[in-house]
Amino acid sequence: MNEGSPTRSRLIVLKAERQAMQEGYVFLDEKCLLLAGAMLRELRHHDALLDALGAAQQAAESALRAALARHGLDGLSVYPALDERSLGLRETRTSLIGVALREAELVVTAQAAAAAVFPSPEAEACRAAFVAFAQAASALAASVGNLVRLEREYRRTVRRASSLHDVVLPELEREVVEIDGALEELERDEALWVRLRRR
């Protein structure tokens, strides 16, 4: 119990504080549920993006084999690449209970590339397949970032809720009970003293 004599005003303050802490715990508990639901949704989205990345990787490998068969390693290594200025990242930002959620999309603004000396459909298909692979990878990277931020916020919220439930609320409850008991004892002593004074 805190130092000082127990008073009714102290008891009222403690009960109000206990009520506020209980409401805070309920809020944090609901926040944990919302974050867990968001993590499950993001995990399903992540799995779909991971499947898309695997398919894009297989397509890129197949296109690379075809281009290598046509041009050879030396010929393909000097084949003009897509100009990096024609690639841009479009980002969409949302927020869930203060947690930043992002979606990223690699956008090809123009298929501008230097003219190849020996152009071929295989090399062009290889370039397109690797652009698609990079697009799938950028979308997946944004999803991984979302999962990391959601998990970090979930752990922090669980710690706070546990601290309230396991430490703060029991201490407040114990203090309320002690002050309540001390006040009852004081009232009994006072009543006994009044009775003895009347005799």
What CATH number is given to the structural domain containing 98?
A: 1.10.287.3240
Q: For the residues 11-33, what does the mean pLDDT come to?
A: 92
Question: d(Cα 68, Cα 96) in Å, to the nearest integer?
Answer: 47
CB 129 within 8 A of CB 59: yes
Question: d(Cα 144, Cα 111) in Å, to the nearest integer?
Answer: 28
- Output Rg (C-alpha) for the chain, integer angstroms: 33
Range of the domain at 95: 9-198
Question: d(Cα 31, Cα 153) in Å, to the nearest integer?
Answer: 10
Share above pLDDT 90 across residues of the chain, in percent, rounded to a whole number: 58
Does the structure show a pLDDT above 50 at 1?
A: no
In a domain, 150, yes or no: yes
What count of Cα atoms within 13 Å lies in the side-chain half-sphere of residue 123?
A: 20
pLDDT band at 181, cuts 50/70/90? confident
In a domain, 4, yes or no: no
What count of Cα atoms within 13 Å lies in the side-chain half-sphere of residue 152?
A: 10
Does the structure show a pLDDT above 60 at 2?
A: no
Quote the pLDDT of residue 112.
Answer: 60
In a domain, 80, yes or no: yes
In a domain, 151, yes or no: yes
Does the structure show a pLDDT above 70 at 182?
A: yes
Q: For the residues 32-36, what does the mean pLDDT come to?
A: 96
